[in-house]
Structure 1
Amino acid sequence: MSLNLPVRRAVRSATALTGSQRSPFLLPYLQRRTLFNFGITGWGSGRSQQLDQVVKPKNPLTEEYLRKKATPKGGSLVRGDLASSSIFEDEETAGPKPKSKGAGAPLQRNPETMAAALDPNPKARMRWERKMVIREIRKRGRLTRAQQIKRQERELLSKSHDFKTSVKKLVPLAHQIVGKTLEEAIVQMRFSKKKAAKDVKEHLEHAKNEAIVRRGMALGKVQGQEFTPRNIQTKDKKTVKVDDPTRLYIDQAWVGRGLYGKSLDIRARGRVFILKHPTTSISVILKEEKTRIRQHEERQTKIKNRKVWMQLPNRPVTAQRQFYSW
Structure 2
Amino acid sequence: MSLHLPSRRVVRHATAISTSNPSLPFLVPCIQRRTASWLRNKLTGADLTAKPQNPLTEEFLKRKPKQAAQARGDLASSSIFEDEEIAGPKPKQAKVAEDGKEGRLTLPRNPETMAAALDPDPESRKRWERKMVIREIVKRGRLSRAQTLKRQERELLSKSHDFKTSVKKLVPLAKQITGKTLEEAIVQMRFSAKKVAVEVKEHLEHAKNEAIVKRGMGLGGAKGFSPVKIQTKDGKRVKVDDPTRIYISQAWCGKGRYTEEPDYRARGRINVMKNRSTSLTVILKEEATRVRLHNEREEKEKNKKVWVQLPNRPITAQRQYYSW
Aligned residue number for residue 109 of structure 2: 112
Structure 1 residues 84-117: Cα deviation after superposition (integer angstroms, max 9, x where no partner): xxxxxxxxxxxxxxxxxxxx97642346389959
Identify the range of structure 1 (131-140 vs 305-314) with the bigger mean alpha-carbon deviation. Answer: 305-314
Q: 1:308 to 1:267 in 2, by over 3 A?
A: closer
Structure 1 residues 152-181: Cα deviation after superposition (integer angstroms, max 9, x where no partner): 111111111100000100000000000001
Superposed displacement of residue 256, structure 1: 0.5
Superposed displacement of residue 210, structure 1: 1.0
RMSD: 3.5
Q: Secondary structure at the match of 1:112?
A: coil
Q: 1:107 to 1:229 in 2, by over 3 A?
A: same
Note if contact 1:248-1:289 (Cα within 8 Å) is conserved in structure 2: yes
Q: 1:320 to 1:195 in 2, by over 3 A?
A: same
Q: C-alpha distance in 1, partners of 2:127/2:315? A: 62
Superposed displacement of residue 275, structure 1: 2.0
Q: How does 1:67-82 map to 2 (within 5 A)?
A: none
Q: 1:318 to 1:265 in 2, by over 3 A?
A: closer
Structure 1 residues 21-49: Cα deviation after superposition (integer angstroms, max 9, x where no partner): xxxxxxxxxxxxxxxxxxxxxxxxxxxxx
- AA in 2 matched with 1:219: L
Aligned residue number for residue 244 of structure 2: 246
Q: 1:105 to 1:209 in 2, by over 3 A?
A: same
- AA in 2 matched with 1:109: T
- AA in 2 matched with 1:112: R
Q: C-alpha distance in 1, partners of 2:272/2:229? A: 55
Q: C-alpha distance in 1, partners of 2:245/2:194? A: 27
Q: Which has the larger radius of gyration?
A: 2
Q: 1:284 to 1:113 in 2, by over 3 A?
A: farther
Aligned residue number for residue 212 of structure 1: 212
Q: 1:268 to 1:303 in 2, by over 3 A?
A: closer
From 253, 256, 271, give the equivalent of 1:255: 253
| Percent of residue pairs identical | 68
Q: C-alpha distance in 2, partners of 1:267/1:10? A: 80
Q: 1:285 to 1:322 in 2, by over 3 A?
A: same
Note if contact 1:231-1:242 (Cα within 8 Å) is conserved in structure 2: yes
Superposed displacement of residue 272, structure 1: 3.8
Q: How does 1:279-318 map to 2 (within 5 A)?
A: 279-316=277-314
Q: Secondary structure at the match of 2:105?
A: coil
Aligned residue number for residue 169 of structure 2: 169
Q: C-alpha distance in 2, partners of 1:236/1:277? A: 35
Structure 1 residues 157-210: Cα deviation after superposition (integer angstroms, max 9, x where no partner): 111110000010000000000000111000000000000100111111111111
Q: C-alpha distance in 2, partners of 1:321/1:314? A: 19
Could you tell me the TM-score, scaled by structure 2's length? Answer: 0.62
Q: 1:8 to 1:105 in 2, by over 3 A?
A: farther
Gaps of 5+ in 2: 1-5, 12-26, 28-100
Note if contact 1:221-1:245 (Cα within 8 Å) is conserved in structure 2: no
Note if contact 1:247-1:289 (Cα within 8 Å) is conserved in structure 2: yes
Note if contact 1:257-1:279 (Cα within 8 Å) is conserved in structure 2: yes
Note if contact 1:159-1:282 (Cα within 8 Å) is conserved in structure 2: yes
Q: C-alpha distance in 2, partners of 1:256/1:168? A: 11
Q: Secondary structure at the match of 2:109?
A: helix
Superposed displacement of residue 134, structure 1: 2.4
Q: C-alpha distance in 2, partners of 1:137/1:275? A: 60
Superposed displacement of residue 218, structure 1: 1.3
Q: C-alpha distance in 1, partners of 2:172/2:195? A: 12
Q: 1:219 to 1:309 in 2, by over 3 A?
A: same
Aligned length: 233
Aligned residue number for residue 144 of structure 1: 144
Could you tell me the TM-score, scaled by structure 1's length? Answer: 0.62
Q: Secondary structure at the match of 2:157?
A: strand
Q: C-alpha distance in 1, partners of 2:181/2:155? A: 14
Q: C-alpha distance in 2, partners of 1:207/1:109? A: 36
Q: C-alpha distance in 1, partners of 2:186/2:7? A: 91
